[in-house]
Amino acid sequence: MPKQQIKIFVVGFILNRYKTVKKAQLATWIMGVLIFFDDYANSLIVGTTMRSITDKLKVSREKLSYIVDCTAAPVTSMAFISTWVGYEMGLIQDAFTKLGIEQNVYSVFLKTIPYRFYSILALFMILVVIWTGKDIGPMHQAEQRARKTGKVLADGATPMASEELTEMNYKENNSMKWYDAFLPIITVIIVSLVGLWYNGGGLAADVGLREAFGNADSSVVLLWASFSGTIVAGILGLFKGNLEVEEIMEGWIDGAKALAVACGILILAWSLGTVIEKLGTANYIVALTKDIIPPFLLPTMMFVIPGIIAFATGTSWGTNAIIMPLAIPMAYQFGAPMLPTIGAVLTGCVLGDHCSPISDTTIMSSTASAADHIDHVNTQIPYALIVGIISIVFGFIPAGFGLPYWVVFPLLLLGMIACYIAINIFGKEVEGDEVTIEDTKEITA
């Protein structure tokens, strides 16, 4: 089957260069940072590509899905060009227009990036975990299990992918090379980028690249990209993989079957989020808190409240749409610092997403990593909460006093030091022999 053979060669290529557990996890992090244009594409490409590699090195699926999830929305929400940028700028522009504020919205967006304390520190926390080799609570147990027994999934776990994707075979006597493995992936990336530009109206003379990415419907574009990647993989399997057309079609059908459970969960999660939205849960939470917030605590509250709402509804975009029109006028009326308040809303949604079992990006990360979804959420929450607390103490509370703009960078440095200290205090090293490529006898998917 074409995708199976492709993954075989990806494993061979990357394992020969990232031969240890730490290097493989770092490679996953780097891929997550580089695929910045869409969070869905990020999760699907990084998770499915790296899963076979981390399995070989006895990295738990929980750890893989954590790295995938925490390099998806944090990166995409801060990228200069992505499917998030236009949407975020539109919300800011609408609020500014109603208040009569005339500013360059893109400049405001860029200036809020250093105030995305949670998103930045969540990315840094992964590096700390990789560097120290220490993990916290449930994640430590998962890594200990994987390293000692080779079980990348817990006993009784239900991975978000069926055996069609997790147990693969390939034909001998094929002429596939390592670089063939990357052609479908590159195709997906190129079609995604071009598709986002085209779907967002990039052909129009007055629509720039940034606007086009922001206006694009990423769900439609990802269908184009995945279909194109499938076609390329099928052609490779036909001419170089020693496969028949019937076998290629069977492989495609098996892949579709493997994603059926994840699609069902996504539909249920979206349905639940819609019900919660219609009940007015978010507006009720805001109404309870807006009259008791002192100005210097506004950025903190605009971080916590979106986090709660995103956790309850499972959507960052929906939460941004609810909170941003309230947060900017409140900052304007209370005399609270505007940039930290906007940054708090945009990154608080990411925190809620990381903790929510009904978040679409969290479900995508579990699916792409073939991890048990609840195990993924349970092992990720401690890291998210620790980074969230550090973001409040070393970020939003000091920023709420209207400190000079340059002070944000020392605050980020203090937050990074706090992340390192937290891992060393609460984390434990994973016991067991270090697994390397030399320990593996066969490269199988």
**Do the beta carbons of residue 131 and residue 25 sit within 8 Å?**
no
Average pLDDT over residues 13-22: 66
pLDDT at 313: 80
The reply to whether 57 falls in a domain is yes
- 428 pLDDT higher than 50: yes
- 441 pLDDT higher than 70: no
Residues linked to residue 135 through DSSP beta bridges, in sequence order? 428
CA distance 95 to 253: 47
The reply to whether 110 falls in a domain is yes
For 416-425, what is each residue's pLDDT tens digit?
Answer: 999 999 999 9
CA distance 27 to 17: 10
State the residue range of the domain holding 300. 9-171+259-439
The reply to whether 184 falls in a domain is no
For 173-193, what is each residue's pLDDT tens digit?
Answer: 666 666 676 787 788 778 878
For 58-86, what is each residue's pLDDT tens digit?
Answer: 899 999 999 999 998 899 889 877 767 76
pTM higher than 0.85, yes or no?
no
> What's the domain count of the chain?
1
The reply to whether 69 falls in a domain is yes
The reply to whether 81 falls in a domain is yes
Element (H, E) at 428: strand 428-429
Instruction: Report the percentage of the chain scoring pLDDT > 90.
Output: 29
The reply to whether 144 falls in a domain is yes
- 351 pLDDT higher than 90: yes
174 or 269, higher pLDDT: 174
- Which among 115, 11, 166 is positioned nearest to 412, based on CA atoms? 115
The reply to whether 242 falls in a domain is no
The reply to whether 192 falls in a domain is no
226 or 64, higher pLDDT: 64
pLDDT at 97: 84
- Which among 391, 382, 386, 287 is positioned nearest to 346, based on CA atoms? 391
For 23-41, what is each residue's pLDDT tens digit?
Answer: 889 989 998 898 877 777 7
